[in-house]
Amino acid sequence: MFDIVPRAQVPSTLPALIWQQLLLIGPVLLYSMVAHEYAHGWAALKQGDATAYSLGRLTWNPISHIDPFMTLLLPIMLAVAGAPILGGAKPIPVNPGNFRNLRRGDIIVSLAGVTANFLIALACIPLAILFGWLGSAFPAAVVPLAILQRMAIMGIFLNMVLVVFNLLPIPPLDGSHVFKYLLPPSLARQYTRLAGAGILVLLACMYFVPGFGTVIIGPARFVQSFAERLYLPFMLPNPLT
């Protein structure tokens, strides 16, 4: 899985970037990636493939899902360069040959990750409300609750970005595993070979395709604007200002 944080969500100065990512974006994005990969492994297990389970990858421990380059080095390099942050977790190992039904299993496993991110985005809405209500009820705890509230709000936006981004029909993103079944078999085989150059294709789209960022961020902003109507009455003061 690849993940992206749009440029608009990244502070302009490096100290602010490090502070905000560590406190807000970092933990939210990390566990959103863990949930995404765990969902892939869990769905694969239910479809007959126990590869991830047998290798100890079906776990919520984030260390098992961290890839030194994709999870750590690449996002930091892009952040320092002021570019959109692209990264990813270590992919869950899946053997489609173990699925009881190859086509159905591949589609279900591919969509499991984005389904997990969508459910997290929805769950973050009542969490933001709850943290706001608790902060008003218990003023002594308002600072940590305000931080948690902003993490929940960030969780809405980030997880919706991950949903839309991973549904793009660009190999090896999850959407490509569904799109390939709409193609003739010979063309589908050539299409899946693009997976090796997927990160280059994604970076090229980000920089050279007009409106590419809007396609990804637009639906996330729509859901965020809907959620704002629900949590804004419970907003706590920003503890970072």
Length of the chain: 241
Question: Which one-letter DSSP state was computed for residue 188?
Answer: H
Q: Which active-site residues does the annotation give?
A: 37
- Cβ proximity of 162 and 3 under 8 Å: yes
Give how far the C-alpha of residue 221 lies from the chain's centroid of Cα atoms, to the nearest Å: 15
Write the DSSP assignment of 63-102 as a string of letters: GGG--IIIIIIHHHHHHHTT--EEEEPPPPP--GGGSSSH
Question: Which one-letter DSSP state was computed for residue 238?
Answer: P
